[in-house]
Amino acid sequence: MLSITHLQKRFGERIAVDDVSFEVRSGETVGLLGPNGAGKTTTLSMMSGISKPDGGAVSFLGQRVHQDANALKKRVGLVPQDLALYEELSAWANLELFGGLYGLSGAALATRAADALNLVGLANRRHDRVKEFSGGMKRRLNIAGALLHDPELILLDEPTVGVDPQSRNAIFENLEELKRRGKTLVYTTHYMEEAERLCDRIIIIDHGKVVADDTVRGLYRRLPASRSVGLELDTPAPENLLAGLAAMPGISAVQGTAGGVRFDTVDFGAHLALALERIAGQGVRVTSVKSGQTSLEDVFIMLTGHALRDGPLVDTP
Ligand SMILES: Nc1ncnc2c1ncn2[C@@H]1O[C@H](COP(=O)(O)OP(=O)(O)O)[C@@H](O)[C@H]1O
Ligand SMILES: [Mg+2]
């Protein structure tokens, strides 16, 4: 649906986006993940036709975006990082203004606005002024504004920054509903957990460059051993059990411990079950299972040499 090739953007001496290429397929939810200043917003604004690349190209359904920006605007919805709302006006009046920008009016606009408000869960607040809304509600209204023309592709720039966990969840549910409706979503965030929950594919950007483009599963596979597992057993692990576990595919670093056994597994879901089966087969009972979980954060550190963010998960509004 969208193809980005060798995209580049400079601001003076600074290269904000440096030879970025990736594809977005129809119906996919793609996460652009990277720390503040990585170049996510700059990439998104070139994708939406708002800003012109210094090099490379963006194509939407085979058409070069910067040659026909108007055609693109009809089919793409952009939810900007900064809220674009009139505080003194009602939610509904804001949507009327947004709709006007897309050339919508009358009954068509009313139908679309009602549907968009419904989707973001603000239908019962349509007549309230935006200034009475919480940060999360404003975010959701901002999303509704980008949906009025029923775009196929929706670009969202950090739509959960500055919202409380409950609103964050509501926004996720809105996005999941859009996904179910078959929309293509591109979502930028500096929260690994969000990208992991929502995205079919994650593109990690650091210092303006793509450092990984993979599924969540694929990213986890890049870690040498994704988890360590500790099992407590009702008897000390017999030597032949340790050797048997060590010989199993996907299991490594097997060690007898005081209470049982520990090992690393690459694919927790598949290999732990097989290990448990083998242990049971030898008549040994497992009394507890502990797992040192690794996260995509570890993948990020491995790829970039630094942490994704140093702040807490929930920004203070
Ligand atoms: N309008 C601008 N003028 C100058 N520098 C900019 C401008 N917009 C972004 N930058 C710089 O480009 C880099 C990438 O910014 P941005 O795309 O906003 O990152 P992100 O959205 O990932 O936080 C940063 O170093 C930022 O300071
Ligand atoms: Mg940004």
Range of the domain at 229: 225-293
133 shares its domain with 66? yes
Q: How many domains, in total, are found in the chain?
A: 2
298 occurs within a structural domain? no
Residue closest by Cα to atom 18 of ligand 1 = 41
Looking up residue 267, the CATH number of its domain turns out to be: 3.30.70.2470
61 shares its domain with 80? yes
110 shares its domain with 257? no
32 shares its domain with 119? yes
Ligand 1 pocket (Cβ < 6 Å) reads: 11, 14, 16, 34, 36-42
Q: What is the reported pTM?
A: 0.79
136 shares its domain with 249? no
105 shares its domain with 170? yes
Spatial contact of 79 and 185, defined as CB atoms under 8 Å apart:
no
Spatial contact of 4 and 47, defined as CB atoms under 8 Å apart:
yes
Q: How confident is the model at residue 313 (pLDDT cuts 50, 70, 90)?
A: very low
Please state the atom number of ligand 1 nearest to the C-alpha of residue 157: 21
Spatial contact of 203 and 212, defined as CB atoms under 8 Å apart:
yes
**Closest listed residue to residue 143, CA positions, set 115, 106, 165, 109:** 115
100 shares its domain with 209? yes
279 shares its domain with 201? no
- What confidence tens digit (pLDDT) does each residue in 258-296 have? 889 998 887 777 888 899 999 999 999 999 998 876 778
- What confidence tens digit (pLDDT) does each residue in 220-263 have? 888 765 578 899 999 988 999 999 999 998 888 888 888 899 98
Six-digit token pair at 170?
């509501």
Residue closest by Cα to atom 26 of ligand 1 = 37
- What mean pLDDT comes out for the span 141-164? 93
Residue closest by Cα to atom 17 of ligand 1 = 39
